[in-house]
Structures are given as structure tokens and as C-alpha cells.
Structure 1
Amino acid sequence: MTLRARLIPVLLLAASSAVPLTAQGSRPWANASMSPDARAAAVAAQMTRDEKLLLVFGQFGTDFPSKNFKAAAEARPGSAGYIPGIPRLGIPARWETDAGVGVATQGSAEKKRERTSLPSGLATTASWDPDMAYRGGAMIGDEARRSGFNVMLAGGVDLMRDPRNGRNFEYGGEDPLLAGVMVGEQIRGIQSNAIISTVKHYAINDQETDRDTGNSIIDPAAARVSDLLAFQFAIERGSPGSVMCSYNKVNGTHACENRFLLTDVLRRDWKWPGYVMSDWGAVHSTAPAANAGLEQESGSVFDKELYFGAPLKAAVERGEVSEARLTEMATRILRSMFAHGLFGRPVAEAKIDMAGHAQVTRADAEAGAVLLRNEGALLPLSPSVKRIAVIGGHADKGVLAGGGSSLVYPEGGNAVPGLEPKTWPGPVMYHPSAPLAAIKRLAPGATVRFASGDDPAEAARLAADSDVAIVFATQWAGEAFDVSLTLPTNQDALIEAVARANPRTAVVLETGGPVLTPWAGRVGAIMEAWFPGTAGGEAIANLLFGRVSPSGRLPATFPASVDQLPRPEVPHPGDTRYPEGATVGYKWYDARKLEPAFPFGHGLSYTRFGYGGLTASAGNGTVTARFRVSNTGARDGAAVPQVYVAGAGWEAPKRLGGWSKVQLKPGESREVSVTIDPRLLATWNEARREWRIAGGTYQVMLAASARDIQQTTTVRLPARTLPVGWRPSR
């Protein structure tokens, strides 16, 4: 018997026990003037128990031969999930697609969907541009809708506690404000297409090693001002229809049956009205999960056994799960479906503007690339450069993508097929946007030659015979594994050899997160391009030749050595304790007085900026910083002035309080104001469940990075408490 056959009795029972709606009157919930809550309650009141059970049970959308699973005929082949509709009540099906960079294809589907890929989530966050995040989300949400999906499993906001986490490229970096704002805007963009987006992976999900059973042990108060605050900001900003709970345990209890996370924090404290779906394979129980706050078992074939469906029905019949709780589960799902337009705008396959969408992702890649070093103004490349060596990174073929469930298959297929691993979490994918070809187009008068980099001596000879050498260094990362901070396949030695042969060497990094750069002082320039997406080759070339001035800033610290990390040992199975507590990322480096290779917020430009005139005022219970930004150079460019705040008794010497991205022409100045969320000036009291702002003097710092403080002023604040559910008005 196939797993699909095991589900049939539940589905048939739901159909056979349904009372025709004509016997109960019309559908009042069709009235769009009613609130989503009222409409959901009206539908739920008409549902049978079996219909509710159908609504909370998520199937995988793709055949899974090794588990003898055949997907439902109505599912979208190669998709992440499918939940049947209930035609009697006009409830549409939910078709779910991964993930945060675009419409992915899962499993061994014969035909891969060729879709547009955004740069990695970390790259988008590195733009420090909320509007860019929104536009990217709107674009991939449009492709999801036009691919027949109405639920998109994006975006990821887990804080980067360990730069070796294999999924860091999907997330928003190390600061809760930056991550929450940027990911929240992407979610808002996705949902502008009348589809549901999720926020994930909730919570404290900071490594892939032992991800199914690992136990994240953290003080709840520390979590409130770090990892949970990132989720809180993202939820407030994006209003996602769903939260996806993670694989790991949190303080001894699996996240998908963790009452503190799912009920106490999400529902009681944050008053979030949506539904919780499990990650695929993250459910470990029936009644404990349902009673703790899980509404949907997702991709049930991935769980060790079925927990919802027939087992949940039996649990309700035994009284282990109340009928009221089952009704609440169904109502929360319906509420999100109404709130985000699933009832009013059915999805269907339609033509996609692939060329237009490529321009969206190209702009994203350009905005998120970070110029880490540029000695002697090596970049942008001068028109006088006549001999260019391009070395390594399969730059003659394409640009690297991250692996796992988020992988988007590009038009034209894999530019470098056959690399290992070929199967999950692979294949290793290169989008066919070759930097080499793009460089040649922008340097028609130059001789541009390529070396694979497999032979460092050959690469060095080519570099020595060139005016400038550009080394592409790559590190693949993906779901279900963690990475080293050292570039693989001896690429450090390659860079050293090329730099010795030609000091006019620029290194372009295509990585999922921070890496060690022991050669940094011996190369002229370093640009972090991350995983740059569908049009990454063109974006990199535009940046190298100055058609676009780099404006990205680091969303995560680049350590000088592994020894600087809070847990220098490799990610490990079992319990993970956090000596840093809430002191994540740059806060750890500040508190321990460690000098990183490149600090959080760092990024250079092809022009120069001046900062001054900082003032800070307190009013209406918050702090506003005002200052002036000037372009003192000779090129157009975008500054990213950052405002940090410092107070007594905090987990770290300072916190990011806000920022602005300011586009300026040469000689132009602009007055900027940044309002600081009062929770960023507070400590958390877990016993009383409230934010406390101590009365006294606070420092307000205007900065170009976490280590480049331009000006400091002070402001006095009265003592104040904020209730657990406080949020700013927008």
C-alpha cells in the first residue's frame, strides 16, 4: 500500500460525511466586506470534523519513490506541498512552493520549472534597502502565482549565530533589526500578489548539523532580545500568513510542539493571528504538537510517521485534543487564506516576464554586493586596462547558487552540470550568467583571457602577463550540512599565487556567508558577491567596471579566525549552549574587544561620503537621530549611514538602532532622520514579560560601520516600561 493510499480513507470520509451546503443556506463568508476573522469563523462553523482534519494535513506535492509515496494528481509536480480544497464550502486548495529566492522544483520531477532566482537572502539583506527587498519579494511572488502556487515558503530570518551554518545564505544576517526589517519587507512583497508567505524557521535554528534532534539551549530573556526579536520585527513588518516551526528542539522541546514558542510568544504576547505550519519532517507527535500550537503538519511523508490526519482524528475522539482546538486550527488557516486573498483571486499558470524579472534580480545583486577592500582604487577597472586575466570559479560558465530546497532551476539549465553532489542537497548549480562573457562585453578593446584556476602556477603566469587579474573564489553551501570558513579546493593558495604574480588582483567571492580571507592584505580589491542569482554575471561585471557603484554593507561580521567565534569547535550534534546569549555577531566582537577581518556594516564605494551634524532628541517615548550625509567624491553613490545606541546594563556595548540608504550625486548633501524603536533601548524582563527602559543617559552614534563611528551624542530618557505586545504604529 502506498502512503497516498493510507491517506485515502480520511479523504473519503471527509467527502462522504459532508452535508450539502444547499441544506444550510448561502455562503455569508463570500462577503468581502466582512473581516477575515468573521469570514473564517463563519466557514468553520459549517465544517465537519473531517473537513477540518483535511484542512490541517499537508501532503508533499511530489512523488517520493524511496518512501513509496505518490503525490495527489491535483498537486503541482515538483512542488513542496499540497492541501486539497473543499469545494462544498468554496475553500480553495493550497499549493505550496519553496522558497525565499524564487520558485523552486523539488524531487525528481521530470520537468524542472525554469524560473528567476533572486540573489541569496543574505545578499538582499546586504543591500540594506527595504524597498529592494520588497521589489524582489513582489517579483518572486508574481512568479509563484503565475506558476499556480498560492503559498510561498519564504522568508528566513534565523540569526547568524554561527557563520558556518549551511543555510545562512537563506537568512538575514546577525542583527535582529536588520534581518527583521529586510525579511519582513520581502514577505510583504510576496504577499502583495494575493498569496501567503511564511516566516521561518522558528526558532533558534542556527546550524544544520543534527538539525532534526539538536537542542538549542538559551535563556528566554536572551532569546527575546535576539533571535525572537528578529522574528517579531519580521512579523510586524510583513504580516506573514504562516510561521514555519523548525526541526530543532528549544530548551529540550521540539520547536513544533513547543508551547512557549507557538502559544505563549506568538499568540499570547505578539497577538499574531496566522497559522503555524511545520517544516517538512519536523513533527514528532500528535496531541502534544496540536495542543502546543501547531496547525498544519506539512509534507507529512517526511515525518517518521503520520501525526495529523487519521491519528489526529483518533486523538480528538479520545479527548486528547479538544474539538475546540481542532476548530481553532482550521479557523486560523482559513483566516490567513481570507486575509491574503486566496479566496478572491484563484491562482493559475500564466506567462512570466522573465526578461523583466531578470532586471529586478540584477539590480538586487548589484545593490547587495559588498566592496570589502579597494587599495589604490584598483576598482572600478579603468578603460585603459588592455589585458585582463579572469581566473577560477567557473566564471567562464556562470555564477554559483545555494543548495537544498530553495534551489531555483534557471532558464537554460545548469551551466556546470555534473559537480558533486548530484543529488540532495545538490545538484551544485551554476546559473548560466557567465561573468567572463559580461566582462568581455564591457571591455571590447581589451584582451580577456580565462584560466580555470585548477593549476595555480598556470594562473599565476596568466596574471603576470596581464594588467589586472580577477580571481573568482567560490564556496558552495546548502541545506542539511554546515561549511568550513576556509575556502575549499585550495583556493587560498590560488589567490596567494596570483597576488604574488600581480599585485593588481581583485578577488570576487561567491559564498553563502563569511569566509576567512588570510590573503586580504596582499590583494588590491575584494568584492563579496554572495550567491548573486539569475543575472549575477552581468551584475558583477557592472560593478567591476563602475557602471554601478557598490553600495552593499555587510549584514554579518567576517571573522579574522575561527578562534574568534563564541564556539570555535565545529557545529556538533546534541545540546548547543550559547555562551554569547543575546550578544550575537558584532555585539560579541565589541564585548570581547576582538578585531574582525571586516566588521558588520562595512562596505566601500567608488565615491566618498561625509557625515556630520548629529543630534538626538527624545519625544513621544522614542529617540530620533538627525544628521547630514554628503557625497564628497566624484561619482554617484549610495551611502548607508548607521545609527547605533548604547545604554547601561545591556548585553553588549552597542546595538544597531536604525539606518538609511541615501543615493547622492557628487557634491550633494541630505538631511536624514532615523527613529529608533524603543525596544532597542530596553532590556527584557522575563518574569514580568515587559520591556524596561532605564532612566538615564544614552549614547547615540552615527557610523559607517559597527567599527567606524563618525560622531557621538547623548540623550536623556525617563524610565519607561512597554507591555509585551507593544509595537510601533505604521
Structure 2
Amino acid sequence: MAMTRLAAALALAAPLLLGAAPRADDWHDPALSPDRRAALVLAAMTREEKLAMVIGDFASDQVGKPDAHPPAAAREGSAGYVPGVPRLGIPPLWEADAAMGVATQPTARTSRPAVALPSTLATIASWDEGVARAGGAMIGGEARRYGFNVLLAGGINLTREPRNGRNFEYGGEDPLLAGRMVGAQIAGIQSNHIVSTVKHYVLNAQQTDQFTLDARIDPAALRQSDLLAFQIAIERGRPGAVMCAYNIVNGAYACENAPLLRDVLKARWGYPGWVMSDWGAVHSTVASANAGLDQESAATFDAQPYFGAPLAAAIDAGQVPAARLDDMVRRILRAMFANGLFDHPVAIAPIDTAADTAVSQDAAERGAVLLRNARATLPLRAAALRRIVVIGGHADAGVLSGGGSSQVHPRGGSAVKGLAPTGWPGPVIYLPSSPLAELRRAMPGVTIDYLDGRDPAAAARAAARADAAIVFATQWTAESQDTSLTLPDAQNALIDAVARAAPRSVVVLETGGAVLMPWAERVDAILQAWYPGAGGGAAIARLLTGAVNPSGHLPITLPRDDRAGRCRPFGGAPTPGARFTVDYCEGAAVGYKAFDRDGIAPLYPFGHGLSYTRFAFAAPRIARDARGLHATTVIRNTGARTGAAVAQLYVERVGGGWEAPRRLAGWARRTLAPGARQAATIAIDPRLLATFDTAGGQWVIAPGRYRFRIGASSRDLGPPVDIVLPATRFGA
């Protein structure tokens, strides 16, 4: 048997070794399908080689394990490494953590400088799939040039818990918006012939006790919310891998959850790629393998290695079918072929920092949301101002970024040194793009002073002497810890003091998600800049001065208090480390849907975003053709300057029966000159008109009347247009 395998391997490798043209049945032939090529390679592999492909190593030194060192062939400072099979030409998997760029692990001996995108939530706020794809292409290109062929990107988990420390990495609160935008980012990453993941599958909605949290939710509600977001992202981005989460879902760990992995992801959706675990998310051999986990990532993070030798023993004992190991490896190989890892091997090359920073800055400019602009305070006009005071937020040095495994390290390190925590999930990093310096550059005739904001009384005195005061308010959030919705370090008191003293007051928010704003109606303008990335300082200055017209819209609801829109208390296990249950009682009514259902007024609604011009939207015309149902509207710029509008289409089922009064059904973003108008057609995904029947495994559109409205947010909607739809059932 061994000689037969060796002969087969040599026959497959001969064209590569001798430079001959590939045969019709040769896996080197790029004309063959990824499935066929994977099958041919799989047939030549030994069992030992297969077992080595389904278990990975950490590619860096590991905190708390001084004797655990990365393999020599790994990319030091990165997240993961899976050895290849040199005799068959199978490349290793070099894996880098990512959300906003190529990350470096905190235990690395030297950091890997890379260009940071704005937070994922900021990209989602652009409502522009082109922005998401361009950002993905940029970070995927940097990953490739650093020698990585797997990027652990594609965070999409819905914002069920506004305190979640990783919300800045994720896709907001609506499944359609999150799915389309993250899918576009994944497609951009993979355009570089590398693999992107989509993660964390599923219901990874808080950091507190996430390893022991049992997320309980009605299966139909899950299909209509978080799983729908994943499904749309997978359809549009075609990620090579899905990363399963730490938490438990309805009684079973996410990485050994057969209903989610085997039944929904692979059987129902026909997902052809592989399922990798999160780092430390595996708890079994037999249950995980049979449920659909294909690869154990960085086994030193788990209580013990569960694949490798234990998997071989389980196969020998008949507990795991031998065919299951073949399926695991085939899926990995298939994704590698589909994304060009064989035909376009990665190679170290220089990074074009200036070009990549321009991509990041563009995303920051399009994703920033102008929340308030009383008295037309913005844009700041140099001709009308003599003195401005900028206060707080280390705006003299740089812009804040989020912490944890996704942390991108800029060249030269943080612009602000020594901020705690310096260890995991830190260090706290300010990217060296100073809003103060950029404002001074943009307004050379205006005196612009800076105060650090530690003394509210001094800040108020400076604000009273200036024509306008700009307070930069920041909140650092990170993986492994949840946060408060209250700004830290007495910043609310600082903003209040400045607002009372300044002739004009502006607040710029650099936060990972929602924060409470008790001062919102006392300040003149609020710009939500999120974590704005490598070009963030320039982006903020251009937005404040009007060189760029704000066009972002909220991908989350901003509440008035920390209880609004939530049906459960927040917390962790009564005993640390104990398994505990969180009832996701809101079901599919995430975010704005719960606010609408319960009649709660938000501070700023989902979809909200102001501009320096004005737009009008015509009532939609609903039509059906061979492509399906779609809505057409006309967008007009009724103001005095060019700007981008986002026409948001919402649908209601007249008579109720849904989780909430209305759902986002689609949108169109258009840039228009003053006085211009443009028609926009919005395709309507039929799943947004349906509920999920778990017994029948189908989507069901109930017969009856459906009401469509176009508007600028979920609470700013135009006149209704009703249509009657027949009963319809369609597959999952």
C-alpha cells in the first residue's frame, strides 16, 4: 500500500518537477475545477499527511507558556501555522490575525508595521460595498506581501450587546447590511489569492465569560438574524474558511455544534470550504470531528490537542469515520485551490504605505457619521474663525485604535507611549495621524490651540476665548473584555464644561461603538469618527472643514440610556469559569427592531447620518420581473453642494407577525451634484420578506399586504407603498 501511494505521488508531482505540461487528470492544471484538483491531491496523501493538515500551531510565543515556541517555518508574531506537504507541493497555511489590517501578536519580539483600516464598524457605516471591497483588497495585499495566505478577517457578529468589547470588529446590528458589507470585504481580501475567514460562527456577542456562555435562542430567530448575516456574507464573499466561536449555542459548543456546522452550514447552505476553530475553542475529538469541525487551530490554546494523534485513535476505534478525515482535508485543499494558494504562492514584497493609507483614509471619510449639526456649525470655515481650541483625546498625537488580537501596529509604534494596559489585550495604540496637525494644515490662517482636557475648568476658559471648541472624546475597547456605555475619565463632565462656555462646540467621538451622550443636545455638532484608521487625522480634519461632505450612516442604534432596547440583564457567570446561560430573548429583534417593537425613542436611530447638503427621496415603485422583486426610487440633491445619499428601503408586514414592525430590505448609495437627480433600483432579497420554518427547513412568505418606505433612517421614512404578495415557500 505504501509503494502504491508513493507511485501515485510521484506521478502527480512529475510535471512540476520536470517542467512538463500538465495532463488532463493532473492537479497542476488550473483548468480543472477546485473540487477535481483537491480530489486528485487527496488521493496521493498519506494518512499522516492528512492528520497534519487538520491541526495547527500558534505562530508566536504564547503568554503563560514559556516553553511553547513557534515552528521555525512560521511567520513570527502571527497567529497560526499549518505545515504543508512539500513532496506534493502543498503550501503551508501562514495565518495572520486581522479585522482592520495585518496584526502582530503582543508576544512578538518585533512588531510588523502595517496600515490600519478604520474599524469594521466604521466601514459598515459607509453603506458602500465598494469601500468594503477596496479596504479588503488593501489589507489582503499587505497580508500577501508579508507572506500570509490566510487572513483571519470577516468579523460579522451582530451587535446584540452594546457593551461587547469586540463590536468595533463586527458588522453592526442588521443582517442584510452586515452580510453584504462583510461579504464585500472578504471578496476584496481574497482577490489577492489568499483565503479569508468569516467569523465567529455564531452568537459571539459578548466577551464576559465567553468561553462558558451558553447562548440560548429560538432556532427560527437565529436563522432570521445572525445566521442570515453569515449566509449573505458567505454567498457574496465566498470565504475559504469559517471560524467557529468560543461560546456555547443552545447547549453545544459552537465548534462541536452539529446543527450549526453539519446541518445548516454544510448541508443546507452547501458551504464547500473548511471550518477552523477559534484559538482555544475546541473541547473534544469525536464530537467536534463528527459535528463538522475540520481543523483545530493552534492546539496549544486548547486544554490538550484534540486532533492529530487523538483523531487518529478515534478513527482506528471506529468513533470517527475515516471518510470524515478525507472530507476535512478535501475542504481545506478545495479552498486553497479556489483562492489560488497553489497557483499564486505568496512572496515577501514591499508595502506601499502611502497608497494603502489613502485607501484607509477614504474609508474613514465615507464611514464617519455626522450625528448633529445645530446652527450649521459645521463645516468650520476659516474665513469666519480666528481661534479654535482642540481639547483632549490625544488629538495632538494621533487617533485611537481598538485592542486585542486584531491590533495593527503602525511604523514607529504608538503615537502615545505607555498607556495602560501595556499587556494583553493591549497595548493601547494611537495611530500617528494627528487631527490637530491636519486641522492646522487645513486652516493656516486660524490660530488653533491644544489642551489635553485633564482640567475641565481650564478647558472651559480656553473654549470661552475661542470662536469654536472641538472636544475629542475617546473610549478604548478590546477583545477579552466588555465595556461601559459611559465615556471614561470624566469626559462627560469635560464636554459639559466646554459646551457651556464655548460660542460653538463640536464633539468628535473615537469609540468602538455606542456611548451614552447626556450632553448631546447641549453641544452644537457631533461627529462619530469611530476608530478612524491610519489616515484618521486627515479624514477628521477634512470632514470638519468641509473638504469632504459627511455621508456615513449609523449601522447601530445609539441609545439614550444603558437599558434601552434590551430584554435581559448584562453579566457573566455567578462563579467565574462556570457554565451559564444567556437568554437571547430579543430573538431576531436586534437593535432598531427592538426599539421599534417596544416604542422606544433612541438618541440617534439606525441609519441616521447628516450631510452638508439635503436630499429628497421619491416614494418607491415596486415591481416584479424575472430577477425577482425590486424597488425603484428617485434621489434628489436639494441642497447647495455635492454629497452622497443613502436611500434606505424598509418593509413592514401589514398586520404584524414579524419580530418587529419593519426590516431593512435594501439600500442605494448615490453621489449627486446640487440640483441633480438619479433613479436607483434596489433588489429585494426574498428572505427579508419571510420567516423561517424550522420544521420544514424553508423560508415562508405569508400571503398578505406588505408596506415599503424609503427614507434617510429607520425613523425618517417617506410615504408608504403597499403591495399584496401570495404565499410562497422556498429553500434555505
Q: Same fold, TM exceeding 0.5?
A: yes
1:62 and 1:106 in contact (8 A); partners too: yes
Measured in 1, the distance between the counterparts of 2:619 and 2:306 equals 60
Partner of 1:43: 41
Measured in 1, the distance between the counterparts of 2:8 and 2:82 equals 21
Measured in 1, the distance between the counterparts of 2:497 and 2:38 equals 65
Partner of 2:135: 136
Unpaired runs of at least 5, structure 2:
16-25, 574-579
Measured in 1, the distance between the counterparts of 2:63 and 2:225 equals 41
1:198 and 1:242 in contact (8 A); partners too: yes
Partner of 1:519: 519
2:9 and 2:45 in contact (8 A); partners too: no
**1:39-438 alignment runs, 5 A limit:** 39-64=37-62, 66-67=64-65, 68-383=67-382, 384-438=384-438
Measured in 1, the distance between the counterparts of 2:38 and 2:627 equals 37
* Deviation of 1:386 (Å): 1.1
Measured in 2, the distance between the counterparts of 1:87 and 1:660 equals 48
Partner of 1:728: none
* Deviation of 1:518 (Å): 0.6
Measured in 1, the distance between the counterparts of 2:563 and 2:487 equals 17
Measured in 2, the distance between the counterparts of 1:585 and 1:623 equals 26
Measured in 1, the distance between the counterparts of 2:181 and 2:11 equals 49
1:593 aligns with 2:604: no
* Deviation of 1:503 (Å): 4.5
Residue number among 611, 619, 629 corresponding to 1:623 in the alignment: 629
Q: Deviations over 1:228-281 (max 9, x none)?
A: 000000000100000000000000110000001111000111001000000000
Measured in 1, the distance between the counterparts of 2:470 and 2:659 equals 41
* Deviation of 1:615 (Å): 1.5
Residue number among 692, 700, 725 corresponding to 1:684 in the alignment: 692
Change in 2 beyond 3 A, CA 1:440/1:620: same
1:22 aligns with 2:13: no
Aligned sequence identity (%): 57
Measured in 1, the distance between the counterparts of 2:57 and 2:12 equals 30
Measured in 2, the distance between the counterparts of 1:76 and 1:39 equals 27
Q: How many residue pairs align between the two structures?
A: 710
TM-score w.r.t. structure 2 length?
0.95
TM-score w.r.t. structure 1 length?
0.96
Q: Deviations over 1:192-216 (max 9, x none)?
A: 0000000000001100011111110
Change in 2 beyond 3 A, CA 1:48/1:432: same
* Deviation of 1:18 (Å): 6.7
2:63 and 2:107 in contact (8 A); partners too: no
* Residue identity matched to 2:56: G
1:503 and 1:522 in contact (8 A); partners too: no
Measured in 2, the distance between the counterparts of 1:568 and 1:323 equals 44
Measured in 2, the distance between the counterparts of 1:144 and 1:364 equals 19
Partner of 2:23: none
SS class of match (2:198) = strand
1:180 and 1:232 in contact (8 A); partners too: yes
1:482 and 1:571 in contact (8 A); partners too: no
**1:706-717 alignment runs, 5 A limit:** 706-717=714-725
Measured in 2, the distance between the counterparts of 1:617 and 1:33 equals 40
* Deviation of 1:612 (Å): 1.4
SS class of match (2:618) = strand
* Residue identity matched to 1:43: V
Change in 2 beyond 3 A, CA 1:146/1:447: same
* Deviation of 1:187 (Å): 0.0
Q: Deviations over 1:66-105 (max 9, x none)?
A: 3120110000000100011101111011100011110000
1:157 and 1:180 in contact (8 A); partners too: yes
Measured in 2, the distance between the counterparts of 1:332 and 1:26 equals 24
Change in 2 beyond 3 A, CA 1:377/1:690: same
Partner of 2:529: 529
1:389 and 1:462 in contact (8 A); partners too: yes
* Deviation of 1:23 (Å): 6.5
Measured in 2, the distance between the counterparts of 1:135 and 1:58 equals 30
SS class of match (2:154) = coil
2:118 and 2:363 in contact (8 A); partners too: yes
Measured in 1, the distance between the counterparts of 2:567 and 2:378 equals 36
* Deviation of 1:136 (Å): 0.3
**1:650-669 alignment runs, 5 A limit:** 650-669=658-677
Measured in 2, the distance between the counterparts of 1:25 and 1:343 equals 13
Measured in 1, the distance between the counterparts of 2:633 and 2:64 equals 61
SS class of match (2:185) = helix
1:141 and 1:191 in contact (8 A); partners too: yes
Q: Deviations over 1:356-404 (max 9, x none)?
A: 0100000000000000000010000012211000000010111000000
2:612 and 2:643 in contact (8 A); partners too: yes
Partner of 1:718: 726
Measured in 1, the distance between the counterparts of 2:610 and 2:129 equals 20
1:276 and 1:294 in contact (8 A); partners too: yes
* Deviation of 1:525 (Å): 0.2
* Deviation of 1:346 (Å): 0.7
Partner of 1:10: none
* Residue identity matched to 1:56: V
1:674 aligns with 2:682: yes
* Deviation of 1:720 (Å): 0.9
Measured in 1, the distance between the counterparts of 2:427 and 2:152 equals 20
1:162 and 1:565 in contact (8 A); partners too: no
1:562 and 1:568 in contact (8 A); partners too: no
Q: Deviations over 1:137-185 (max 9, x none)?
A: 0000000000000000011110000111000000110000000000000
